[in-house]
Each structure stands twice: as structure tokens, then as C-alpha cells.
Amino acid sequence: MAESSWPDDSAPEISIIVPARNEEVSLGDCLQSLTAQRDLAFEIIVVDDGSTDRTREIAESFAGVRVISAPALCQHWTGKNNALVAGSKAARAQWLLFTDADTVHLPGSLARALNEARARGEAREAAIDLLSYSPQQVVLTFAERAVMPVVFAELAAQYPPHKVRQQNSNITAANGQYILVRRAAYDAVGGHAAVATEILEDVALARLFRESGKEVYFRYGGDVVRTRMYRNWAQLEEGWTKNLALLFPQAIRLAWQSLLFWCLAWSSLAIALSGVVAHQLFRMAFVFFGALVYRRIRVAHFSMINNLIAMACGLPMFAYLLLRSKRAHGEGQVSWKGRAYEVSSRRESASVAKESKIGEIKNQELRAEN
């Protein structure tokens, strides 16, 4: 058993639950960083969600890591929610950490996160029930470097962390890559089973906590955890197609806005450069408009070079993904990791059709009786 995991004769302080479906590329680094945590007792539960690669073999190679299999999917449940429910049922601690298989946890971060949850609870004179970090995003390929800064800049604008932290705010958010919850509060609201049909289970869970009067705390957590969400364009396209229309209700308007910002950035640069050549200060001043676009992107905690790449190329790519996501949700189906999910519009249409059919049958029965 790993040195850092809990002894057989004592309960852990935290149960770490890692859902994993075909994560052989990233799971090893994740578990290496988790098993190396110190200063508190914890258990690690990896939920194998029907993997067809070496995911299970990698998980079982780590001493002290418990590997369980996700049960068969219930109707309309997402695979991740199904796995998280299974993991929570197997967990033994009073605190649960739900974290993704593509995360890497900094040394000592587990103890610091628990201390932060407890300390902020003491400061508020009310326990923090849900603590969530937005990880530092690792980007390597051109597509990642162009798109990810734009996405996270717009997320920061749509869900400002300081507003999310206000308990009377109607803006609620969490990042499913790192959610630490008190077990008692989690069970009281129904846990992931209560949001099992939601594609954005993290935001839905945070909203459920907030609506139930539970304390939610959310911040950027680059000092705690980092992740590389997507490793190529195909993964990035599928993942954001699944999520963007849900994250941004005004997706079409935001797509046009992004294209406008892109045109503004390039045109202002061109005018400014022409001013440099012609020695005209008025034209050179147009660089200010490009700086405004850069300023909007830079809040997402990426490097300067990545912000510049995003400003130059990422805005139209983001607009494309927004429109693609809007279309997919309009058609009622999205896909992820080999599974197709019916989204709410299609399920609602099916429900309305079913209710309408039942109504027709009842009317026919009433007519027959008369």
C-alpha cells in the first residue's frame, strides 16, 4: 500500500474519486501525483468506465489505489456521472474529491485544499460545502494554444469567480476537474445522482448546492492542480461541441462578437503599422483597440505568446466551435468518448410527444365511454 494512503485500521480524511474511460495517456501522471500527496490520510478510488485500453492495468499498478468498475448506464445518465455515483458509494471519508484522470496535482495540494475549505468555513462561520478549483491549463499543440485562452477568457467573463463566490449571486459555477465536497452536504443534495442526466454536471452540482443553501467556493487553482484537457484538434472539437452551447446560452451572439473582436484586432494592428510607416501618430493610436482585445484574453492565465496566438487565430476558431455546439444541441445529440448522448431538447421533445400520445389515448377512452 502506498505510504501516503490510509492505514487499514483507520478511516481516511478524504476519498479521491477518479472516473476514467480510456485514459491510458494521462492516468499514470495523475495517480503518480495523487499517491505522492502527504500530511493527511486519504484513499484513491479509480472508477473504470468501460475502458478498452490500458487504463485499468495502469490504475492497478499503483499500490494502494482501489479500482472498481462502473455499473451499466441508466437511461439518459452520462458515463461520467454514472462513474462518479459508483465512486461515491464506495468512498469511506467525510470529504470527497472528484478529480479527472487528466489532472496533475501539485505536491502538498491535497492537504492545502482541505485546509482552505475548513479555514474559509471558519471565516464565514459556516462550513464550505463545495470547493472547486479551475486548474492551470497546459497547452502544447497549435489548436490548444489558439482556442483554450479564448474559451477560458470568455468563461471568466461569463462566470466571474468573485461573483460565483457570493452566496446570494445567481451566477454559479464549478469545474469538474477538481471538486472537493463535504460528504454530508453531498449526500443531502442527492450527489451526482441528482444531476446524472446533465452534460455539465459540475455546474449543475454547484447550482444544486447553492439552491439548497450550501456554501460554494470557486477560484482559479493553478497553485493546486493543472490539466491538459485535449491533446489534438479532434478531441478539442468534440469536447467543446459537447459543452459550449451549455456554458454560453447566447452562443450565436458570442460567436459574432468573437469574429468582430478578431476583425478589430487585425484591422487595428494594420492601421497602427501603416501609421508607423507614414509617421502618423493618429493611426499608430489604433493599436489601443488591439490592446483591448488582448486585455480581454489575458485574464485566462495563459502565457503572453499563447494569448497572442489566441488573439491572432483563436477567435474565429472559437466562433466556429460555438456555432457547431449550438447546432449539435439544436439537433438533440452530442458525443463524447464513443458515446452519444441525447441532450435536453431531444429528451424534452420525446417527453412532450409521449405526454401528447397519452392525452390522445385518454381522449379516445373518454369518447368511447360517452
Alpha-carbon gap, residue 316 to 224, rounded angstroms: 32
Q: Average the pLDDT over each of 25-29, 46-50, 261-265 and give the range with the smallest value.
A: 261-265
Retrieve residue 165's grid coordinates: 463566490
The C-alpha atoms of residue 92 and residue 90 are separated, in whole angstroms, by: 7
Residue 54 has pLDDT above 50, yes or no: yes
Domain count, the chain: 2
Shared domain check, 219 and 144 = no
Percentage with pLDDT > 70 across the chain: 84
Is 210 in the same domain as 107? Answer: yes
Question: Within this chain, do residues 128 and 145 fall inside the same structural domain, yes or no?
Answer: no
Whether residue 4 is contained in a domain is answered as no
Q: What is the pLDDT of residue 82?
A: 97
Does residue 272 register a pLDDT over 90?
no
Q: At what angle do helices 142-158 and 233-247 cross, to 10 degrees?
A: 10
CATH assignment of the domain containing 62: 3.90.550.10
Specify the range with the lowest mean pLDDT, choosing from 65-79, 188-202, 228-242, 272-286: 272-286
Do 269 and 321 share a domain, yes or no? Answer: yes
- Tell me the backbone φ, ψ of residue 236, rounded to 5 degrees: -65, -45
91 shares its domain with 44: yes
More reliable by pLDDT, 284 or 22: 22
Query: CA–CA separation, 188 vs 176, rounded Å?
Result: 19
Please report, as a single letter, which amino acid is at residue 195: V
Structure confidence at residue 299 (pLDDT): 94
Q: What is the mean pLDDT of the chain?
A: 88
**Residues 258 and 116 grouped into a single domain:** no
Q: Is the pLDDT of residue 369 over 50?
A: no
Are the CB atoms for 149 and 261 separated by under 8 Å?
no
Q: Are residues 236 and 333 in the same domain?
A: yes
> What is the end-to-end Cα distance of the chain in Å, rounded?
74
Do 79 and 210 share a structural domain? yes
Please state the rounded mean pLDDT for residues 230-249: 96
Query: How many CB atoms are located within 10 Å of the residue 70 CB?
Result: 22
* Residues spanned by the domain of 55: 14-135+175-230
Closest Cα to residue 62, out of 42, 40, 38, 36? 36
Nearest C-alpha neighbor of 129 from the set 192, 204, 205: 205
Dihedral over alpha carbons 156, 29, 38, 88 (to 10 degrees)? 70
Q: What is the pTM of this model?
A: 0.87
If asked whether residues 220 and 238 sit together in one domain, one would say no
Examine the pLDDT at 2 and tell me if it is beyond 80. Answer: no
Q: Do 213 and 246 share a domain, yes or no?
A: no
| Structural domain contains residue 145 | yes
Residue 344 in any domain: the answer is no
47 against 366, higher pLDDT: 47
8 in a structural domain: no
CB atoms within 10 A of CB 12: 19
Is residue 311 in a domain?
Answer: yes
> Looking at 184, 211, 230, which one is the last position of a domain?
230
- CB-CB contact of 258 with 157 (8 Å): no
| Neighbouring-strand partners of residue 43 | 15
pLDDT in tens, 93-152: 999 999 999 999 999 999 999 999 988 766 565 668 999 999 999 999 999 999 999 999
The residue among 266 and 62 whose pLDDT is bigger is 62
Q: Are residues 197 and 269 in the same domain?
A: no
Helix, strand or coil for residue 87? helix
- On whether residue 250 sits in a domain, the answer given is yes
Q: Say whether both 217 and 149 belong to one domain.
A: no
The answer to whether residue 360 sits within a structural domain is: no
Per-residue burial over 316-348, b if 16 or more Cβ lie within 10 Å, else e, is: bbbbbbbbbbbebbeebebebbeeebbbeeeee
Rg (CA), the chain: 23
pLDDT digits (tens, 9 = 90+) for 280-337: 665 666 566 778 888 999 999 999 999 999 999 999 999 999 999 999 999 999 999 9
Structural domain contains residue 181: yes
